[in-house]
Structure 1
């Protein structure tokens, strides 16, 4: 994994916590939330304040995410809004945190100048021991305050000031005035500088969760369903007025029918504003590399001419996905007949992308899971799955993919996403901003060395 880290493809753009003073702020918030503390004074945190180094130290990488369904967070700076979310259990968590930071940026900037802000993404579910519990999560509310309770104290002071102004005898109420003075020492003058955080609520209708082997929950569609990655029997899933079983991803016909009935996808070759031939050709290149690397061929520095040579050398080993995409490419370039591609074809989901709608990013994530040989889409739309599969690849394929992503994707993330998925919002995982001219330790943190030591 160090190859990905060095190229900024993993653990990129985390916020660096350096020095005893900032670490002490973090510790106060950590103690407030979890009762735990860290002895580290130099570490790196994601948008939620989770630090891989502290996860190693505590031997608990869910120390800010108890039961995997109640994400807590620690904000030391508004700069964390551009960081990724590590150890994500729900696809919506990062976007909710970023929206909260952006909606309260001025207040958070002032508060984090003196103390850390600690909070939680609150829902009505405290455990997900059964799959059906996930469907009880419909709205997420953020609650936050500094570790010393400045926001709560400011609210109390504001209420006392209102009472003081409304009562004619308030000047003779020594207790009221004493309480106001005590609170003002902690909060400052809230009449001139109000302290308030907008604890907005966010809907969670359609989402992915890592729980139970991976589930895609679609409730806000015409035909609501739950799609299961593992294919295990999850029992009845209550969806509105109906109770329906989950659709396993291995049942390709049902998955394809679900996507089509809800108008969630469109064929790449008929999508507007894309170079379909270029996209298909690249998908084919990835398949060639997968086969060649398995045969221990050198694919680290290959160009398209080399890939054609490898395709001829291993023609008998290329999977059905390659041949279907090749027929589709010939049609797209105007030199072949239209190939009929059904959901039974292993390449079917490779030929689709999400249609323009509010859940486009979630659908592209699902398609990435259904077309695992397209490593670029897998990296962009489903990083956790990309990292898990990367660990199993031959070294030659690891080198090729890392070099390709660093060369062809990192230099223009927004342009690449627009070319692949269309204009509009960024993909579900909301690519973190690329680090600019920073030392490698600042970018990836020191935990690589720690883990190698272990």
Structure 2
């Protein structure tokens, strides 16, 4: 994973915590949430306040995500809004946290100048012991306050002020006045500077969860279904359940709900270029398995390797090549059914509210397209990367750093035709993390 970290493709854009004041606030919040503390004086945090170094120190990558269901968070600065979310168990968690921070930015900025804000993404499920239990999650509510309870105290002070203004004998109520003065010393002037966080609640109808091998849940579409990434799951409270091997059923599901469109027929893009890039990735994967040298391989190099390993190119490549011949050379229209290995490589999500979720599913169904896998399904990308040969790792890192990161927005617009919210913000190389972070988390210095 060191290659990814060096290029800012993993643990990029985390927020560095290195001041004694912030470390002390973090520990106070950590103790408040889960009764733990860190002895580290320098570490990095994601949008939720999770730190891979602290996770390694505590021996618990879920120290802010007990049972992987109710995500807790620690905000030291509103700068965390641009950070990624590590170890995500639900596809909606980062967008919820990001929206919460943005909607309350002014209030959170004021609060975090004095204390850490600790909170939780709360739902009615506390244990993910069965797949069916995950379907009980309908809404996610954000609860947050400083570790000293500033927001709650401000609300109490506001109620006291209203009482003071409305009760006839309030001017003579020495106890009430003393309570107001004491509370104001902790909260400040809540009349001029109100301390109030918006109460935010989010529907959880369509989502992906990492539990039980990965499950895609689509409940608010005309024809609801669940698609599971592992073994078949029975008795789920939804009309239809498919596995990733049920290709025809998934294709029909996507079509009935009007969730996808064909890349080759999409308007305003160079479909042939997109398909050729996917073909290059497939050639690269085959060549890497054969031990070929892919150091800074160009498109011309990949074309030569494709010719060299022509007999080994899989059906995914053959199907995409037939589409390109139709598009560029007036070749016959290739009949690529949903059972053809190339089928899902030819699709992308239509621009709708669940486009991110659909593109994540398509990435899992077309894993040889390493660019889409990296953009849309980072969890699967990192797991897959760990088992690739070094030749493939070198090429993928070089390609993503050299050709993708230089124009992320342009690449996403070309690939998906709309702003892809699943994409993390601009990542910066984190050379200082190399000594701390190992293949799946921090393995750095302990105190």
TM range (shorter): over 0.9
> Residue 372 of structure 1 corresponds to which residue in structure 2?
367
Q: Which has the higher contact order (CA 8 A, sep 6+)?
A: 2
Among residues 400, 418, 437, which one is paired with 1:447 in the alignment?
437
1:382 aligns with 2:377: yes
> Residue 296 of structure 1 corresponds to which residue in structure 2?
291
> Residue 345 of structure 2 corresponds to which residue in structure 1?
350
> Residue 360 of structure 1 corresponds to which residue in structure 2?
355
Listed one character per residue, the Cα deviations across residues 154-202 of structure 1 (whole Å, up to 9, x for unaligned) are 0000000000011121111111011101100100111111000002111
Among residues 408, 414, 422, which one is paired with 1:413 in the alignment?
408
Among residues 233, 255, 261, which one is paired with 1:260 in the alignment?
255
Listed one character per residue, the Cα deviations across residues 349-382 of structure 1 (whole Å, up to 9, x for unaligned) are 0011111211111000000000000000000000
Among residues 330, 334, 339, which one is paired with 1:339 in the alignment?
334
> Residue 284 of structure 1 corresponds to which residue in structure 2?
279
Contact 2:103 2:198 in 1 (8 A): yes
For normalisation by structure 1, the TM-score amounts to: 0.95
| Structure 1 residue 453 displacement after superposition | 7.3
| Structure 1 residue 444 displacement after superposition | 6.4
1:400 aligns with 2:390: no
**Partner Cα distance (1:282, 1:261) in 2:** 29
**How much is the aligned-residue C-alpha RMSD, in angstroms?**
1.5
**Partner Cα distance (2:358, 2:421) in 1:** 10
**Partner Cα distance (2:393, 2:431) in 1:** 20
| Structure 1 residue 452 displacement after superposition | 6.7
1:426 aligns with 2:420: yes
> Residue 180 of structure 1 corresponds to which residue in structure 2?
180
Contact 2:9 2:427 in 1 (8 A): no
**Partner Cα distance (2:118, 2:425) in 1:** 22
**Partner Cα distance (1:182, 1:298) in 2:** 71
**Partner Cα distance (1:183, 1:335) in 2:** 77
Q: Secondary structure at the match of 1:151?
A: helix
Seen in structure 2, the aligned counterparts of structure 1 residues 265 and 40 have a Cα distance that, compared at 3 Å, is: same
> Residue 165 of structure 2 corresponds to which residue in structure 1?
165
| Structure 1 residue 245 displacement after superposition | 4.7
Q: Secondary structure at the match of 1:451?
A: coil
The range that moved more, 328-337 or 395-404, is 328-337
Listed one character per residue, the Cα deviations across residues 276-325 of structure 1 (whole Å, up to 9, x for unaligned) are 00010000000101111111010122112211111111111110111111
* Equivalent residue runs for 1:161-240 within 5 Å: 161-232=161-232, 234-239=233-238
**Partner Cα distance (1:445, 1:112) in 2:** 29
Listed one character per residue, the Cα deviations across residues 186-240 of structure 1 (whole Å, up to 9, x for unaligned) are 00111111000002111111000001100000001010000011133x221223x
For normalisation by structure 2, the TM-score amounts to: 0.97
* Equivalent residue runs for 1:147-162 within 5 Å: 147-162=147-162
Listed one character per residue, the Cα deviations across residues 45-81 of structure 1 (whole Å, up to 9, x for unaligned) are 0000000000001000000000100000000000000
**Partner Cα distance (1:453, 1:331) in 2:** 57
> Residue 315 of structure 2 corresponds to which residue in structure 1?
320
> Residue 134 of structure 2 corresponds to which residue in structure 1?
134
> Residue 48 of structure 1 corresponds to which residue in structure 2?
48
**Partner Cα distance (1:2, 1:321) in 2:** 30
> Residue 2 of structure 2 corresponds to which residue in structure 1?
2
**Partner Cα distance (2:130, 2:291) in 1:** 44
**Partner Cα distance (2:397, 2:445) in 1:** 24
Q: Secondary structure at the match of 1:192?
A: coil
Q: Secondary structure at the match of 1:98?
A: helix
**Partner Cα distance (2:85, 2:102) in 1:** 16
**Partner Cα distance (1:357, 1:445) in 2:** 42
Contact 1:301 1:400 in 2 (8 A): yes
Structure 2: stretches of 5+ with no match in the other structure = none
Q: Secondary structure at the match of 1:202?
A: strand
Q: Secondary structure at the match of 2:333?
A: coil
**Partner Cα distance (1:166, 1:312) in 2:** 85
Contact 1:214 1:229 in 2 (8 A): yes
Contact 1:124 1:137 in 2 (8 A): yes
Seen in structure 2, the aligned counterparts of structure 1 residues 128 and 17 have a Cα distance that, compared at 3 Å, is: same
Contact 1:381 1:427 in 2 (8 A): no
Structure 1: stretches of 5+ with no match in the other structure = none
1:70 aligns with 2:78: no
Contact 2:46 2:84 in 1 (8 A): yes
Listed one character per residue, the Cα deviations across residues 303-348 of structure 1 (whole Å, up to 9, x for unaligned) are 1221111111111111011111100011111331110110110111
**Partner Cα distance (1:15, 1:300) in 2:** 32
**Partner Cα distance (2:292, 2:188) in 1:** 67
